[in-house]
Amino acid sequence: MGILAVLSVLSLAAPVRASAREVPKDAKVFLNTLSNSLAAVAEVTKPSVVNVSTTTTVNVQESPFGEFFNDPFFRKFFGNQFNHPEQRRKYKSSALGSGVIVSADGYILTNYHVIKGAQEIKVILYDGREFTGKVIGDDPPTDIAVLKIEARNLPAIKMGDSRKLKAGDIVLAIGNPFGLNQTVTMGIVSAVGRANVGISSYEDFIQTDAAINPGNSGGALVNADGELVGINTAIFSTSGGYMGIGFAIPSDMANSVSQSIVKHGRVIRSWLGVTVQDLTPELAKSFRIKQEKGALVTDVTRNSPAEAAGFKRGDLIVRFGGNSVDNSLGLRNMVVNTQPGKTVEVQVVRAGKPLTLKVTLRELAAKKEIRKAGYNNVLKGVHVEELTPDIRAGLNIPAEVKGVVVTGISSESPAAEVLLKNDIIQEINRKSILNLGDYEKIVSRIGPSDTVLLLIYRNGDYAYVTITP
């Protein structure tokens, strides 16, 4: 037998096995410890997260002839001469979201957009029990709503301090994505203090890469101590699914809003009375300011707490109540989260010199809103509000721009294809609009078949637009 044949037989009879490689012991200990820790946090917090199911009745227009007359090919040749009466039918639409139990006697935090317009709300607990949810109150500017169910001894979550969060902290997102109950995903805090996202009026979001999907809205974002640090609110996505960017409302903001709703039936916010903007290198050079951060005062409202305290245009606000002010949005959030009537020390830089002012905050007046009811013209379905200093600061509207701000437009309104949310209406039919009174007076005189000419301010530009019946 040749050597090769012998080696071949030996190879078949006794195969040589490479020694199996093992995970190092210290790595296994670390990973097992991490795994057990995350499982423990999930086990403690999951019972506090509930499923929120809503039912809404919607009106849908239907043609008695189906879609035939709406076919583009048909309309290309015959136009609109065969317009037909449309029938309205009511349908029930269902949606799913999440909520977080914050008290043992049945108070639940969720997003306003989860329960908006709902006629029926069903809350399903971790143990499978079902309750009818009642809306105690809501706050669209922060997208927070408070529900109540009639139950006792519920597993309320422990409230955490969202101000302590840092980029890189491990967090868990708990909710009911796509109706899959009690789903837990892990990630880190990607950033804090995210604003100008376009989700709500008061934005100070926690950004996370923990997977958040449709149905997670209103669920819990918890830290490594099993404490609630955020209410999951929205995702950034081009596909509607998870893309690694999710946003949560900080627990401090959510807790402050919910407590005000439960105690007062509404959200009470404070008012300082200044219009501010972010400090840029160019502005710092022009004002001879050495600081790199702060909120620059561009206007002081007459008869405001700021005027009484001695604020002036050109002041750079650098600290508010002991907390550093990085930008205008940061200042606004500090002000609105402070109780009215409280006296706060505010540090400013004026003409290059530090100065401390004491200001006693007052309650921010409730915004008046003109609703679509009562108007039978092209502006029906257009919701507007006073252009308050708070809104002006949030939208970076210059002081010289006057008018009312568009806060919403019904899809059925003739103005839906012309106006956008946050447009400033300055003129209607060449008549100036300075406040809600002017708007109501002029709009009430517009006929059902009248075409309207508007002067609007949008994204830094002025434009005339027309709305036809």
Query: Cα separation of 166 and 206, whole Å?
Result: 10
HSE-CB at 132 with a 13 A cutoff on CA atoms is 3
Q: Is 161 one of the catalytic residues?
A: no
Query: Cα separation of 115 and 181, whole Å?
Result: 18
Q: In the numeric block, which tokens belong to residue 432?
A: 């100036």
Tell which residue, 365, 142, 367, 394, has the closest CA to residue 270: 365
The b-or-e profile of 370-397 (16+ CB within 10 A means b, else e) is: bebeebebbbbbbbbbbbbbbbbbbbeb
Query: Cα separation of 47 and 125, whole Å?
Result: 7
Catalytic residue among 48, 53, 113, 413, which? 113
Query: Cα separation of 324 and 336, whole Å?
Result: 16
Query: Cα separation of 90 and 35, whole Å?
Result: 50
Catalytic residue among 53, 190, 217, 258, which? 217
Q: Is 143 one of the catalytic residues?
A: yes
Segment 294-297 long-range contacts (CB within 8 Å, at least 24 positions apart): 294/318, 294/325, 294/326, 294/327, 294/349, 295/325, 295/327, 295/328, 295/330, 295/331, 296/328, 297/348
Q: In the numeric block, which tokens belong to residue 366?
A: 């409730």
Q: Is 413 one of the catalytic residues?
A: no
Query: Cα separation of 375 and 104, whole Å?
Result: 46
Catalytic residue among 139, 143, 204, 299, which? 143
Q: In the numeric block, which tokens belong to residue 300?
A: 């002081």
**First and final C-alpha spacing in the chain:** 102
Catalytic machinery residues: 113, 143, 217
